[in-house]
Structure 1
Amino acid sequence: MPMDHAELTTEQVLKRDIPWETYMTTKLITGTCLQLLRRYDNKSGSYRAALLDDDGPAYVQVFINILRDIFKEETVEYVLALVDEMLTANPRRARLFHDQSLANEDPYEPFLRLLWKDNWFIQEKSCKVLSLVVSSFNFRLKIKFWFNNSARPNPAKCVIANGGATSNGEASHSKNKITTIDDVLKGLVEWLCMQLKKPSHPSRGVQTAISCLATLLREPLVRSSFVKADGVKLLVPFISPASTQQSIQLLYETCLCVWLLSYYEPAMEYLATSRSLPRLVEVVKGSTKEKVVRMIILTLRNLVSKGTFGAHMVDLGLLQIVQSLKAQAWSDEDLLEALNQLEVSLKDNIKKLSSFDKYKQEILLGQLDWSPMHKDPTFWRENISNFEENDFQILRVLITVVETSVDARALAVACHDLSQFIQCHSAGRIIVSDLKAKEKVMKLMNHENAEVTKNALLCVQRLFLGSKYASFIQA
């Protein structure tokens, strides 16, 4: 789109002189509308505020009707700038769009349609206005109002409702069905997701979308629409270390969105199957911005007790990160409390994870990784006799892994666990030797992966020398 539209500011647009009298002469607006505009246009902020305090819904109706029925781009930009200025000065004025006197109006349709206009200024302002209007919507009471209230006819239209379209296409006077809040949510979320995928503006598209989502996702109905639109995975790439002030703000608002989604059960699956958790842990490990750290820790505290999140956090080494963060000087009491709670939860998860059943499941499923129990002395001391079950089934599986696996990490873990068994079981060296493991492990001593070589060497040392001497050599 042309850069003159993309880089317009509200201040520049509000300096325009709009020919309202011409619109009335051509019967595009009424005399009542013209009077209201003359009182409001080019006046000081305090004077406009007084007018809105006295007759806010009437002015909202003026703006809605002009945006609905007049298509001239300069005029649309101007009215959007007026609405933006009105809401920026006092966001609570968004409630005016839900006033009962506008029950026969459609306050959403113009903004929803303008979201898709090939003009960034119009798109951005429409998104901002819609986001504030939707976030001020009392869903429970409004739905009750829809069912219990018979809408009153509106006394004075500011735009001629039955006129014909002008030859230059400036006006359109057909009124479609009233746009429901469901229509608004669907259209707005679709546009926001589009900005995350393919932004209309190279530097402001993503920032605008995430800022609006940070406001909108406070509402459960918006969370539902966003999850159904597969929006969660679009947020994840923006959870990344920040360097500039602008990128720090983007990161903060992205984390705020994830935090809001962490309260919504249907979003759990999307958060679990994306790379959101590793990214959150990576960012919090290196961030020094308190508001970013706070948002991530609050999110992790919400997630730690859900599904497999706790186990995954332990695997990612989050406990050590939390303990390191606790040692730093934070001023936010909520952050300090969340860090303490998260630490307790992670320690509880480690206790649960350090069970033989969990270990056995990992081995039998072939999912060998450096989960906490492998290097936990207490686990080996308390569970060593369990390895005798089913004719040393677990040992046999580990030896099969050593012999057949091509995964370096699995090989390293298997060698490590065999050496742990040799060290902790009173007859470990004899049992592992009888199972013909020695030759298979020895073949890995020249493996290209250093981690495999190290653990294979330790295992062989313990097989040949016994746990006492192997411990001495390792040291």
Structure 2
Amino acid sequence: MLSAQSIVVPSSSDICPSSAIAREDLIKDVTLSIISHPYLDDLLEKIRHEPIPWQDYERAGLITEDERVMVEHIENKSPEEITSIISEHGIHYAGLYLELMQNLARVDAVQKVLVLVHDMLNDHDERIFLFHEASVGRPDFPFGPFHKQVFAKHLALRINDEFIGIQASKILTLLICSTSHRDIDIGDFFRWMTFQLQSRNAPVTELNIQILDALFHIPAYRKAFWQTPHAVDSLVAILKRGNNNPQKVYEITFAIWLLTFDDEIAAQLNRKHDVLPSLVDIAKHAVKEKVIRVVVAIFKNLIERAPRANLSAMLVVKVLPFAEHLSTRKWSDQEIVEDIEFVKTQLQENFQSLTTFEAYAAEVETGKLEWTPPHQSDNFWRQNAGRLNDQDYHLLRLLTRLMSSSNNPTVLAIACHDLGQYVKYTSSDGRKRLQEVGAKQRIMELMTHQDPEVRYHALSATQKYFSMSS
């Protein structure tokens, strides 16, 4: 496991907190997961100094006199003054903010209440429990009021304000992570998060990744996010885009690491999203040790929880030589040394037991085709061509798909070459299968490809196809 000194880690049992766990333990992980960004700080500071006509809102019936008096009593106070007020009236202010978040619709007023909530909680995460205590007897509280403000923007009902969406999401996350009683539709929240991860505003995506880092400490939420349409696609897209900021790279890889504690996700993550090449590249270019540590920890999770799905794929993208290189370096933490040794040993053992065809199949599975020996060996194809028919022609279909989905000339050339070898050593049956899966037409189309190597192997495959008797 990774050290808690530099990153947040799940509880030792990696289970959802129970009511028997002390409140301090429930909040501990999230206090370490700091959801912050200079962009958000600037918005908070700007809104903090915007005057709000609370008396006008009272006259309009938007707030009561008591609510106005309480707000004006704490508004624009110093942190020390806020501490004094909250120490005496904390539960009442938590109840006030919940009511205002539930009832207010004006953008400026909602913004200011969110700033007041921030100032109440700033450097005092334990005060989040006041919101839970103030919600006794109110089934929709404390999540409902913040959930409502998040989705007011998402559903285009009345509010179109970026700050409200971000800050309400942050507080909602702290509320979720500070209790084991979570009466909230997390699916709605993750659909909103998916939308936010696609934002063109980098600070928005970075803040939402931090929120995910906190929410993924809850095991059930990893699976819920995995099952949310386009959610993992959006997260992986950010991973693959890369980032020159080591902290941001760390936060995205940390989110991926937490996801891989789920066995199903560990088994399917690379198959569906091809994350291994990006993770290797990130670790190779990382300037911070903690980034390498979390990437190696991802590799360890993938091996421990889904070895059959990941070991071969790791060999294809050359995780083994990378792990061997890492093992020669000096590290400040013994845990990364142990994780590197585990990954290296598992890959070495698997490499020794891997047959040539298994290595070939793993390469096709990843889509990272290179001119490795199996492709160029007639003996390999003589012995194994028919095995492309296994599992309902799984590898045959993958090669066909690569010819349509890849833009890499080497991949296209090798796919054409392999399909030519397949039809050569499976005779008329191979011709029939190529036509059924749509490979024949695509090979012929590639005969006019701009790359000469692609044209050559497409032509060669076509000649083999027509040289076989019907």
Shared fold per TM-score greater than 0.5: yes
Paired residue type of 1:217: F
Q: 2:148 aligns with which of 110, 113, 123?
A: 113
Q: Distance in 1 between matches of 2:238 and 2:255?
A: 11
Residue 254 of structure 1 corresponds to: 252
Matched, 1:189 2:224: no
- Aligned residue for 2:293, secondary structure, equals helix
Matches within 5 A, 1:447-466: none
Q: 5+ unaligned residues in a row in structure 2: which ranges? A: 1-38, 154-158, 388-399, 404-411, 420-450, 458-470
Whether the aligned pair in 2 keeps the contact of 1:135 and 1:215 (CA below 8 Å) is yes
- Cα 1:263/1:276, change in 2 over 3 Å: same
Q: Distance in 2 between matches of 1:24 and 1:362?
A: 68
Q: What do residues 421-469 of structure 1 show as CA deviations (whole Å, max 9, x unaligned)?
A: xxxxxxxxxxxxxxxxxxxxxxxxxx9659x99xxxxxxxxxxxxxxxx
Residue 277 of structure 1 corresponds to: 276
- Aligned residue for 1:239, secondary structure, equals helix
- Aligned residue for 1:209, secondary structure, equals helix
Q: What do residues 215-262 of structure 1 show as CA deviations (whole Å, max 9, x unaligned)?
A: 1111123212211113112211222475533xx332211111110000
User: Could you say what the CA RMSD is over the residues aligned between the two structures, in angstroms?
Assistant: 4.0
Whether the aligned pair in 2 keeps the contact of 1:6 and 1:120 (CA below 8 Å) is no
1:300 CA displacement: 0.7
Q: Distance in 2 between matches of 1:135 and 1:368?
A: 40
Q: 5+ unaligned residues in a row in structure 1: which ranges? A: 144-179, 376-386, 399-404, 415-446, 454-475
Greater RCO, 1 or 2 (C-alpha within 8 Å, sep 6+): 2
Matches within 5 A, 1:150-161: none
Residue 133 of structure 1 corresponds to: 175
Paired residue type of 1:317: K
| Residue-pair matches, total | 352
Identity, in percent, stands at 22
TM-score by length of structure 1 reads: 0.64
1:89 CA displacement: 2.2
1:195 CA displacement: 1.2
Q: Distance in 2 between matches of 1:79 and 1:33?
A: 12
Q: Distance in 2 between matches of 1:66 and 1:302?
A: 44
- Cα 1:50/1:341, change in 2 over 3 Å: farther
Matched, 1:341 2:342: yes
Matches within 5 A, 1:15-414: 15-99=49-133, 102-104=136-138, 106-115=141-150, 116=153, 117-138=159-180, 142=181, 180-182=183-185, 185-197=186-198, 199=199, 202-230=201-229, 231-240=231-240, 242=242, 244-245=244-245, 248-268=246-266, 269-305=268-304, 306=306, 307-353=308-354, 355=355, 358=358, 394=383, 408-409=413-414
Which stretch shows the higher mean deviation, 7-16 or 341-350?
7-16
Q: Distance in 2 between matches of 1:65 and 1:208?
A: 26
- Aligned residue for 1:304, secondary structure, equals helix
- Aligned residue for 1:339, secondary structure, equals helix
Q: Distance in 1 between matches of 2:78 and 2:169?
A: 25
TM-score by length of structure 2 reads: 0.65
Q: Which has the larger radius of gyration?
A: 1
1:68 CA displacement: 1.6
- Cα 1:332/1:54, change in 2 over 3 Å: farther
Paired residue type of 2:232: V
- Cα 1:242/1:359, change in 2 over 3 Å: closer
Residue 419 of structure 1 corresponds to: none
Q: Distance in 2 between matches of 1:203 and 1:266?
A: 30
